[in-house]
Amino acid sequence: MSFEYFKIFFESWLIVYLAMGYFIGFFFGAVPGLTATLAISLLLPLTFGMEVLAALVTCVGIFVGGIYGGGVTGILINIPGAPAAAITVLEGYQLTQQGKADRALSHSSFSSMIGGMIGALFTIFLIQYVSEFSLYFKTPDKFSLILMAIVVSMLINSKDMMKGIIATLLGLMLAAIGIDTFDAVPRMSFGIENIREGVQLLTIVVGTFAIAEIFNQLASIPLRAKDILEKFNANQNKFDFKPRREELKEIGFWSYVRSSVIGFLTGILPGAGAAMAALLAYAVSKGFSKRKNLFGKGSIEGIAAAETANNAMCPGAIIPMLTFGIPGDAVTALILGVFTLHGLVPGPMLMIEQADTVGPMLIAFLITPVLIVISLFLFGRYYIKIPLVNRQLLYPFIAFTAMIGLYAATFSLVQLVHAAIIGFVIFLLSARNYPTVPFLLGFILGPIFENSLRTSMALSGGDLTIFLRSPFSLGLLILTAIMIYFLGIRLPKMLQEQENESNN
């Protein structure tokens, strides 16, 4: 990776876009109810007016900032900004209640920085090899990889597997609306002229993440600033954010490395996501720890493991998206959307043809973690003010910006009607625990899933065993079956047993 890519950041406005993205992501991650996914969905229409590199770098900032921001609110007021922060909240809020919020914030930031940078270095080092390896992937292998991404994302993001299946199928079904790419026949347009060419990605994104969240906010009891401050129960005026030598010794060098590797590998696995990275690293760290008794009661080791892993996951998750064109979670799916909107096709050739775009984007993953620590020292004492933002200003901003952004990008009022309907339907579905991430992944992966199925069948002359004859495809199908067993059958049983034990 050339040093030139570093220089670009400081010789142009890129560093400003990156910092802006980071602070936007951090803010959206930190405000309960908002997510980095929502931030990128608001940004998506604006990317039409941006250079592709500026748009991608902003997205990287939002991605990393969002993952980190989710933990901050959790530590301070016990409300995780994002599912990835659940472990950080478990340990961090205990420390806040002990009057040690600064220690929790310090280690969540430093661990995020270390995890993020190690993950970025792994990615920069390995992406070329993965990209070359992806050239050996034939169409049936791609089909099995997409199937695995869809299944894993469904299993991880669903509390109820059947609801996950329904949400995924709905995404796949909506994606199939439009002109058939093989036979140029219009499909399932319900006689509506405006969807003859398909449902637009922007419309789905704005409806699913912006409008549905607005409906969701109107369904819950509004939190006031004083309710939030009551949760921040720590009369702490002095903040010392420097990590102490004895704390770093307690965590240990190998814990950072271990959690980074776990996070990075979880990121590469399509569909797994940050929450799983944090959970795995936390469980492994607990296994290795000499202070197991502190886990669950405010363990700095626990925070370090979770935050290192979920930040190492971010650059890892970009690898399958860039090399195979297969996103693993909602944010990378939207970053893929930015590529598509600018006419770039992820895949092995991208690394060669668009090295000047991909290179600085990967460097952004290396720089953003540093911003985490800088922002902690500059603004850490004011972090508690973020969730106090007035919702009468915030939600009108989100709703209107989403709608006007969609209009500006499509010049179509019909798209606004579609976004409003989709938003309302998604609200109804998520109120009943139907997950939105598998729905989005189903929608985004749907077209290439169908294409790879039909091409494989045409190549094999209708022989379904083509998926078992290729070693890559067979390996991926076996891995998918293992995932179904562990994540869909074993894990729910284990969690149920744990719940029964704690109830007894």
Partner 1 sequence: MPVIIMLFLFTVAYLVQAIGLPQGDLKNIGPGFYPVLLSVLMLMALAYQFFKERKTPERPQATVNKFHLVLLALLSGLIMMLESLGYFASALVFLLTFSMLLGWQLVEYHKDEAGKKVMIGLPLVAALTITGLDYALFKLVFDFNLP
User: Which of 13, 125, 129, 182 contacts partner 1 by CB under 8 A?
Assistant: 182
User: Which of 235, 237, 293, 392 contacts partner 1 by CB under 8 A?
Assistant: 392
Q: Is 38 in the site for partner 1 (CB under 8 A)?
A: no
User: Which of 13, 129, 253, 400 contacts partner 1 by CB under 8 A?
Assistant: 400
Helices (H) and strands (E) in the chain, counts: 24, 2
User: Which of 5, 427, 439, 443 contacts partner 1 by CB under 8 A?
Assistant: 427
User: Which of 352, 431, 478, 481 contacts partner 1 by CB under 8 A?
Assistant: 431
User: Which of 23, 48, 239, 472 contacts partner 1 by CB under 8 A?
Assistant: 48
User: Which of 99, 222, 296, 475 contacts partner 1 by CB under 8 A?
Assistant: 222
Instruction: Please say which residue, 428 or 491, places its beta carbon nearer to partner 1.
Output: 428
Q: How many CB atoms lie within 10 A of CB 227?
A: 11
| Dihedral, 273, 274, 276, 277 alpha carbons, nearest 10 | 120
Task: Select the span of 91-99, 163-171, 293-301, 314-322 touching partner 1 (CB under 8 A).
Answer: 163-171
Query: Taking the complex as a whole, how short is the minimal distance between the CB of residue 397 and partner 1, in angstroms?
Result: 5
Q: Which of residues 103-162 bind partner 1 (CB under 8 A)?
A: 162
User: Which of 290, 411, 465, 504 contacts partner 1 by CB under 8 A?
Assistant: 411
Sign of CA dihedral 223, 226, 231, 232: positive
Instruction: Please say which residue, 57 or 304, places its beta carbon nearer to partner 1.
Output: 57
Q: What one-character-per-residue DSSP string does 463-492 give? A: -TTHHHHSHHHHHHHHHHHHHIIIIIIIHH
Instruction: Please say which residue, 218 or 235, places its beta carbon nearer to partner 1.
Output: 218
Q: Which of residues 223-252 bind partner 1 (CB under 8 A)?
A: 224
E strand or H helix at 186, and its extent? strand 186-187
Binding mask 183-212 for partner 1 (x = CB under 8 A): x-x-xx-x--------------------x-
Q: How many CB atoms lie within 10 A of CB 414?
A: 14
465: number of CA atoms within 13 Å, CB side?
1
Alpha-carbon span 174 to 204, nearest angstrom: 9
Give ∠ CA 489-441-126 in degrees, rounded to 5: 90
Phi/psi-derived region of residue 359, left when phi > 0, alpha when psi is between -120 and 50, beta in every other case: alpha
Query: Taking the complex as a whole, how short is the minimal distance between the CB of residue 450 and partner 1, in angstroms?
Result: 5
Q: Which of residues 58-97 bind partner 1 (CB under 8 A)?
A: none
Backbone angles phi, psi at 390, to 5 degrees: -70, 125
Query: Taking the complex as a whole, how short is the minimal distance between the CB of residue 56 and partner 1, in angstroms?
Result: 16
User: Which of 26, 295, 434, 443 contacts partner 1 by CB under 8 A?
Assistant: 434
Query: Taking the complex as a whole, how short is the minimal distance between the CB of residue 132 and partner 1, in angstroms?
Result: 31
E strand or H helix at 152, and its extent? helix 139-157
Q: Is 180 in the site for partner 1 (CB under 8 A)?
A: yes
Residues 6+ apart with CB under 8 A from 194: 412, 414, 415, 418
Query: Taking the complex as a whole, how short is the minimal distance between the CB of residue 216 and partner 1, in angstroms?
Result: 7
Binding mask 448-487 for partner 1 (x = CB under 8 A): --x--xx--xx--xxxx-----------------------
Where do runs of H (alpha helix) occur along 201-288? 201-205, 212-217, 225-231, 245-251, 253-268, 273-288
Are 281 and 301 spatial neighbours (Cβ–Cβ below 8 Å)? no
Task: Select the span of 144-152, 284-292, 295-303, 414-422 touching partner 1 (CB under 8 A).
Answer: 414-422
Alpha-carbon span 188 to 173, nearest angstrom: 9
Task: Select the span of 140-148, 166-174, 258-266, 303-311 touching partner 1 (CB under 8 A).
Answer: 166-174
Number of residues lying near partner 1 (CB under 8 A): 70
E strand or H helix at 187, and its extent? strand 186-187
Alpha-carbon span 41 to 334, nearest angstrom: 7
Binding residues (CB under 8 A) for partner 1: these are 46, 48-50, 162-163, 165-166, 169-170, 172-173, 176, 180, 182-183, 185, 187-188, 190, 211, 214-222, 224, 390-393, 395-397, 399-401, 403-405, 407-409, 411, 413, 416-417, 420, 424-425, 427-429, 431-434, 450, 453-454, 457-458, 461-464
